[in-house]
Structure 1
């Protein structure tokens, strides 16, 4: 049975991830016990995510490099202009390979490694403990009195921390806009991405009297057991890091990633994207695509600007002159101070 490609870039979900070859010896992980992937549940996958996954149109280059990242157990670093589908690729891979809901970590200038791994609220725990200690009538105390007082009740795994649990199949993690992070974050990620494991110091210290803890995970109300405060992956997660190219990354970080540079779609590819989102192309739609391509050669435009303009042009009752004016406004060139949001 062929092991390549596992991800094909087609719309049909399949179990091809089971054909992944064994990892390279330097990327083999043995965390356990193995956890099943969480099934999609009501509310865990939004209609927006489903639409983005099913309408994504991959290029051959992106298919090849996604498979390289899967086989090598390395993060995929996607760089490209806004609106070229960087974040949507992660949803498409998760859908096709049936890898469960995508975990998402949206990066800001204040993001830290600990935030991605876990969150701990010591003040809430202190408040709970002090409230219990202040009881005046001991006969009121009982098992329920200790609810919320354990350290595990004030810890929750973050997106990265959840992705590194010992799942039997890789979880998909989107680390969005890594180039907006503090300068130290890429370097802080190095050891975790290389070793596929991390520790929660608060649980390590408590392990002598509380060896296991059940923690809430990111993205759902599910929980997972952590033994002695240590988490080690079993199937290295499929990690997608996106960047708008606003900064350079350290060489040590870059060599641990599989790089993918997304470019502006060619005309045929752009038509396929529009068709996937909005159906058949009529004459007016084709003209708007041609106008978009012409304007994009003179300045920066994002594909979602075109999709918005085409969608509005199809609203019943909108006069032709209004459609043209709105299309011109929506397909205005993006300035350096514009807010970018990947489609």
Structure 2
């Protein structure tokens, strides 16, 4: 293990160290232990060349460009993330808004060099299929009628490659067979319809799903190339089924607004975030390179912590907002506008139902 991963506070068995500092000369393939026999998957075909999709800049936007010190990492976070990686189980992360739940997925991906995070944001209208794939049946019918290249005008849909009209979603892309796992963020699952957690059970247990449009055409087209959720990328699907080889690292976030079914919870490991300490907030500010020597930083962090104790913590990113304004010249020692501005940024988030 490289020196950048060594830590007196982190157990030796841990692959994920919690700092977000990328692995150096040792890759994840050399560190990742074999899956338990009951969580081993044999999906294929594996790509001839394992391409790690490049991060799209979202990781730096969420985490900043600098890495955390091991002193600012919750040991329980490290334990639960590594347990989820070892056991090939989803990790359900619960906590108040702004406590860093979603950022955990980006920290894992950056540290383990797994590329772009596949983020699946959940709303009340989200269903399982929307996460797995989208099939443009109307577009295919219209293309057949107008006679694109490769098909005669007035031809049939069967003359058109079905894969040109099918795109895997974030969830479906995460379960494509690969040698290394993808990081999948299922964001705010508690916003979903009550059926979605139940619908995810088979996927989490079996590591595979079928695409009916492809299984129906399997005799005619046993191998189909489809688009994925990664830009300009395609993947081959055999027999209309997608089955993973490396179970994805799944981070599921919840604001704690609802209870999940026992059957769903049995398939997940669970971790609850903690309110950031003053030292952790200072480290977050430093990671985003917000003038670490600015005279107002310590004062604002102290005020943020005190307000959190008295009224409940606002999302931590609101501290970044206030610091940015302060370092941009909005702060005035004797002015009345600054306290009013800070209240507008922080106080309303503590109201009931916010």
**TM-score, normalisation: structure 1:** 0.89
Aligned positions, number:
327
Kept in 1, the 8 Å contact 2:15–2:82? The answer is yes
> Are the aligned partners of 2:150 and 2:160 in contact in 1 as well (CA < 8 Å)?
no
| Residue equivalent to 2:6 | none
Alpha-carbon offset, residue 237 of structure 1: 0.4
> CA, structure 1 residues 271+318, in 2 after alignment: closer, same or farther (shift >3 Å)?
closer
Greater Cα offset, 119-128 or 200-209: 119-128
Secondary structure, counterpart of 2:328 in structure 1: coil
Residue matched to 1:296: 308
Deviations 1:130-156 (A, max 9, x none): 223xxxxxxxx8636589933212110
* Superposition deviation, residue 55 in structure 1: 5.0
The answer (yes or no) to whether the contact 1:312–1:323 under 8 Å persists in 2 is: no
SS class of match (2:120)? strand
Name the CA distance, whole Å, in 2 between partners of 1:12 and 1:142.
48
Instruction: Select the residue among 8, 17, 21 that pairs with 1:8.
Output: 17
Corresponding residue for 1:98? 113
**Is this contact kept in 2: 1:7–1:16, CA < 8 A?**
no
Gaps of 5+ in 2: 2-10
1:207-237: CA deviation from partner (whole Å, max 9, x where unpaired): 0011111000003110000001011101100
The question of 1:28 aligning with 2:37 is answered: no
The partner residue of 2:204 within 182, 187, 193 is: 193
1:79 Cα deviation after fit: 0.4
306-315 or 266-275, larger mean C-alpha shift: 266-275
- Unmatched 5+ stretches in structure 1: 133-140, 339-343
Shift of 1:56: 6.6
**Alpha carbon RMSD of aligned pairs, Å?**
2.2
Q: Which residue of 1 aligns with 2:328?
A: 315
For 1:143, the equivalent position in structure 2 comes to: 150
Asked if structure 2 preserves the Cα contact closer than 8 Å seen for 1:77 and 1:259, the reply is yes
Matched position secondary structure for 2:252: strand
Structure 1's consecutive aligned runs of 4 or more residues displaced over 6 angstroms after TM superposition are none
The answer (yes or no) to whether the contact 1:56–1:89 under 8 Å persists in 2 is no
* Deviation digits for residues 101-154 of structure 1 (CA, Å, limit 9, x no counterpart): 11111101011111111001211111122223xxxxxxxx86365899332121
Deviations 1:231-252 (A, max 9, x none): 1101100011000000000011
Tell me, yes or no, if structure 1 residue 229 matches structure 2 residue 213: no
2:224 counterpart of 1:207: no
Pairing 1:52–2:68 present? no
Shift of 1:287: 1.3
CA 37–108 in structure 1, closer or farther in 2 if over 3 Å, else same: farther
Contact 1:207–1:229 under 8 Å retained in 2 = yes
Q: Give the TM-score, by structure 2 length.
A: 0.86
Deviates more, 1:148-157 or 1:186-195: 148-157
Alpha-carbon separation, structure 1, partners of 2:265 and 2:340: 44
Aligned partners of 1:281 and 1:181: how far apart in 2?
Answer: 43
Q: C-alpha distance in 2, partners of 1:39/1:279?
A: 33
1:272-309 Cα distance to aligned partner (Å, 9 max, x none): 22222224254421111111111112323111111111
